[in-house]
Structures are given as structure tokens and as C-alpha cells.
Structure 1
């Protein structure tokens, strides 16, 4: 015979079971996430993306990650926009300044001079660079995960520039990305410039629209251009770094619980460590591959490189205050000077 108390206990037990079933159902229905990038399938950056996806899934916290490399979901600018909207969950790409001029710090010339300085400026979470990037990304709907310096982004060309190791005119028109800072820097170094999107560099070089491009690390130059027989020279100015940033949509970040966020943060941090070390360890090897493929690598003497660096810093850095803001510029300079 049922009593009121036994009926109450039954109702409570039923509620507990129902809640348990709902929780189990929620765990069983994995959150499926899109992770997009722009690098070729065979590039180490894409392999790093795949490593991250596997690490997250292996943690078994209810997350499934599908990787879309090689501009499958759009160019770097398009990935940026779609990640803000939440159509893409994670992205790996360059941070362009079309949404916020403060992001021009990613194109600040001669911000680092070697791999140790790259690590200090870009990989230390407490650096001014990372703090500024994190604050400004969050303001537009993105969560900074990691900044990845891949090496120096230098000039590749189809012919040897005149006066290649001085500030004198080069008699050469090269591609630059959509940054007035980059354009002014390359003009200071003696080049004529044309703004061309990343996806259009290859046909622009093949058709002779430009004679070269400010764009690429040794790895990217070899993988994308040299292996396809495009280009003949690589000039080591080391004015800019190739920076691939891992970032997430704030809309996605809000969906994750604390455990999932911890897994994601750890996966990206560990992969970023490995990616940086791999790039550092293989930089010289890709220079050799460029030479073996027929490229000539031109490297200014330390004295001439220092002269170009000092001239560009003296001319371009003060101008950046009008773009990124004096406060941002002062924070960055305080870290690197």
C-alpha cells in the first residue's frame, strides 16, 4: 500500500533519474566544432591543427573537431569574419587590421630580431603584445588562444632586386598585404608596392603583375612557390614576422563548460609550443631546400641589416601612433626597446 511519503520518495527518485538521463544525453550529444585555416594541407601548421583536434577529442569531454585547411572555408579575412559570427569555432590565421587598427601591431616592422625575441614578444602571455591582442580581439567577439611566430616573412621575387642590401631604389614592384605600415616599410626599403590578397599572389607572380612578394617564411616559400617553379630569389630582410594566431569565437567559448575550456586551452598551448620549436629547428633546412630547388637566398651583412632596421624603426614606428594609438605603441615599445 502506497503512503504519501512513499509516493513523494517515488516522485523524487523519478526526478533524479530524469535529470540523470538528460545529463547523459547531453554528454552523448557531442558539440561539433569547425577549425579552419589557410595553410596548405602538407604545411606543418595544418598538421598542428590536426594535432590539436585529436588532443581535444582524445580528452573525451564531449567535443568533436573537424579541421578545414587550405582556405576551404575562405581566406584569412573571411575566416576572421565568420569566426566573429560563430559560423566557425576556431581559426588559425593572420590577424588583419580591417576590424581594429590596433591589430597593425602584427605588422610592426623589426619588432623582433631573432627567434628568442620572437618568443619573448609573441609567446609570453604577459607580454604587451599578447595583452593588447587579447583585449582588442575580445572587444570584437574573439578569444585569443595563442600567437604563433613561424619565422620571418620575407621577400621572394622572380629577379634580383637592384641595391638589394641598401635603402636605395630596387626597381621592383612587389606585393604587400593590406597594411599601410607594411606598404610604407617596403617603400622605405626601396620597393614599389601593390596591395594583393594572399590568395592572389601566385597568379600575380606568374602573370608578371608583380615582380615579387613580401609574404613568406622559408618553409612557405619552398612549399607553395619553389615546388611549383615560381620565383628565383629570397631576400632575408627579416623586417616582419609570419604570425599565425589561434583564436576562437566568443560565441563558441560561451558554450563550453570549465572542463572543456581547460582541455581546449591546454591543447592549443601544447601544440603552439611544438609548432614554434619545429619552425625554429627547421628554418635552416628549408633554406637549404630553397637553394636546392634553384632559389638564390640573399642575406644582408649584419652591418647593412642593422642600418636598414634602424632607418625603418626611426621612420615607421613614430607614424604608427596615429594608427594603433599612442598608448598601444608605448606599451609595445616598452617591452622591446
Structure 2
């Protein structure tokens, strides 16, 4: 009898302890979690953050309340510092660009290898397969919890001078690029003059003609009305793509209950799927309505043919080979195999 009472007492104590731990964990939740984004709504990128935050708030009955900070405002607009700030806890969660985080996670440079991915099926073959899992493992090792993929899209070339169909057309052109050494190497190999600057600095530079062109996903062309800053020529060449990654700071992640972690993960996967559809809208349909809209703004659109693309591939191959070892030759080989085997 005494033994049974002891067992009962232990069971009750264990229940009380579990309840107390649950209450402590619950009270350790922050009143608000800060999510960093480079772009806010109405861009697909900004919508990814909004959908994720809304789903999480609703499904956790407000236990996890997320506030969006677009324009990487938590780090004074310096998008290359975003991953470091996330690791340090200045940022709780983010939907971030593989390009912006590549200085801290070298494997993310994979997506910036020139002309690795010819189409959306190639992007999906990487992010949704074994390569994607390996990259998530690298992000996790670097200090953040990766949950889902999104997309910023293929980066196309625009300029104020002429249609660009070959590397020769780019010779001597001043092109604004993002702050990644791989981008500078690529444009140097094409004979252009790459200039690293933030978008805030790029707009007046494009307007005044101090810079001739830039590269970005096409949805930004219409949202930012790039034709009003002299960008009268567009070349669709799919030279690199920029997948987005939904992540949470490790300490924040570990402060949540297992059930809430699962809610946040599932919400990220759903938001990512919705966002990829938004990012590709107008570009995957047979008549590419987004490109028609751009042409309707008085812009000359040049679509690079497979033969013309080959000249760009050849010119940038030394850059590709140089960076292959930095990224990890076995990861690049796995990516090439996955792309070759993709279903088109």
C-alpha cells in the first residue's frame, strides 16, 4: 500500500513538473517575434512573410505573434548582414535570399553559379530534392533552423543602352550587382564593369545614367517601374535564380513547444508553396503575360536563344569552375546530376 502511495505521489509530482515546465516554456514566449524581409508586400517575397506570420498567429491562437520588418530595417537596410543578425538573435525569424546569406553559408552560392539552372524544373530539382536537404543541413550548421523554400526568381538583365544578345554587347557596360563576389566575377568575365551598390543607391545611379543596367527578378521590374529609371532593354537569360529560405533563430526555435514548432514548420511550407506560385505568375504561362506587360511599357524584350545562351555559358565557365571548389565540388556535381535527370 505504502509502495502504491509512493508511486502515485511520484506520478502526481511528475505531472505537476511537466505542467510547470509547460507553463515556464509558455511564459518564455516573447510578446512579439521580429521577422526580417528585404521586400515587403505586395512583392511575392513580402507576401511569403505575411502569409507565414498570419498562419502562425491564427494556428497558435496568438501565442506566436510575428511582426514583419521589411527593408531589412532591423539591420539598417544592410541585407548582407541579415544572416549574422539572425544567428545573434537580433532577428527572430526571416524569409531570406540565398544570395544575401551566401557570404555566411558558402553552399548557398550554388544558386548563383552562372547558367547552372536553365529553367524552373531545374530550380525545383535542386530545392525539392537531395541537394535542398544538404543545403538545409549547411544552414542549420551555420546557426539557423531552415524550414521551407520560397523563391525570388530568375534574375534577368536590364539596361538603358541596347538589346543584349551576346557577351560582346555587355563590354564596358556599368552594371549594378548585389554585394556578392561571385556576381562581380561573373560580370567581369562577360566584359562588363560590375558595381556593387544597394538598391537605394542604384535607383538614382540608373536615373542619372551613372550606371547603365542591373539584374533582378522580373516582378520587380513592374513593381519598381524600372522603365522610369532608364531601363528600356530587358534580356531574359535565366543566368542565376534566387530561392528564398524560411528560417528561425535556434534559441527562439528551442523556446517553443514541439507542437508549436510543428505549426510553424507546416505554416512555412504552405506559405512557401503559395509564394512560389506568386513569384512565377506571368512567367510560366505559354504567352508570358508579365513579359507582355513589360513590352507594353515601351521596353524592348530580348529572349536569349539556346545558341546565344551557349556563348554566355562559355564566357563564364572559368568563374563557374573557380567557384565550384569554394561551394564544394561534390555538392555542385550532385546539383548537375539532379538537373540533368529533371522531368521537364
Q: Tell me which interval the TM-score lies in, with the shorter structure as reference length.
A: 0.7 to 0.9
Query: Do the aligned partners of residues 213 and 24 (structure 1) sit closer, same or farther apart at CA in structure 2, a change above 3 Å counting?
Result: same
Instruction: State the match for 1:5 in structure 2.
Output: none
8 Å contact 1:143–1:253 — kept in the other structure?
yes
Aligned residues: 323
2: CA distance, partners of 1:137 / 1:270: 20
8 Å contact 1:134–1:144 — kept in the other structure?
yes
Instruction: State the match for 1:274 in structure 2.
Output: 274
Instruction: State the match for 2:234 in structure 1.
Output: 234
Query: Do the aligned partners of residues 92 and 169 (structure 1) sit closer, same or farther apart at CA in structure 2, a change above 3 Å counting?
Result: same
1:138 aligns with 2:143: no
8 Å contact 1:41–1:70 — kept in the other structure?
no
Normalised by the size of structure 1, how large is the TM-score?
0.84
Pairwise CA distance, 1:280: 2.2
1: CA distance, partners of 2:29 / 2:106: 37
1: CA distance, partners of 2:175 / 2:282: 27
Normalised by the size of structure 2, how large is the TM-score?
0.82
2: CA distance, partners of 1:234 / 1:85: 39
Pairwise CA distance, 1:67: 1.4
Query: Do the aligned partners of residues 110 and 24 (structure 1) sit closer, same or farther apart at CA in structure 2, a change above 3 Å counting?
Result: same
Pairwise CA distance, 1:144: 1.6
Instruction: State the match for 2:4 in structure 1.
Output: none
Could you say what the CA RMSD is over the residues aligned between the two structures, in angstroms? 3.0
1: CA distance, partners of 2:54 / 2:113: 34
2: CA distance, partners of 1:237 / 1:225: 20
| 3-state SS in 1 of match to 2:308 | helix
| 3-state SS in 2 of match to 1:267 | helix
| 3-state SS in 2 of match to 1:145 | strand
Instruction: State the match for 2:258 in structure 1.
Output: 258
8 Å contact 2:186–2:316 — kept in the other structure?
no
Pairwise CA distance, 1:212: 0.7
| 3-state SS in 1 of match to 2:167 | coil
Q: What pairs with 1:206-217 in structure 2 (closer than 5 Å)?
A: 206-214=207-215, 216-217=216-217
Query: Do the aligned partners of residues 228 and 64 (structure 1) sit closer, same or farther apart at CA in structure 2, a change above 3 Å counting?
Result: farther
1:85 aligns with 2:126: no
2: CA distance, partners of 1:151 / 1:270: 18
Instruction: State the match for 2:221 in structure 1.
Output: 221
Give a deviation string over 1:95-138, Cα, whole Å, max 9, x none: 3332243332131122211122221222x1x331x233222222
Gaps of 5+ in 2: 1-7
Instruction: State the match for 2:123 in structure 1.
Output: 118
2: CA distance, partners of 1:263 / 1:276: 20
Query: Do the aligned partners of residues 72 and 274 (structure 1) sit closer, same or farther apart at CA in structure 2, a change above 3 Å counting?
Result: same
Q: What pairs with 1:146-295 in structure 2 (closer than 5 Å)?
A: 146-160=148-162, 164-170=164-170, 171-214=172-215, 216-226=216-226, 229-283=229-283, 284-295=288-299
2: CA distance, partners of 1:325 / 1:18: 47
2: CA distance, partners of 1:251 / 1:15: 26
Gaps of 5+ in 1: 1-8
Stretch of structure 1 that moved more, 15-24 or 184-193: 15-24
8 Å contact 1:109–1:239 — kept in the other structure?
yes
Q: Which runs of 4+ in 1 moved over 4 A?
A: 12-30, 227-230
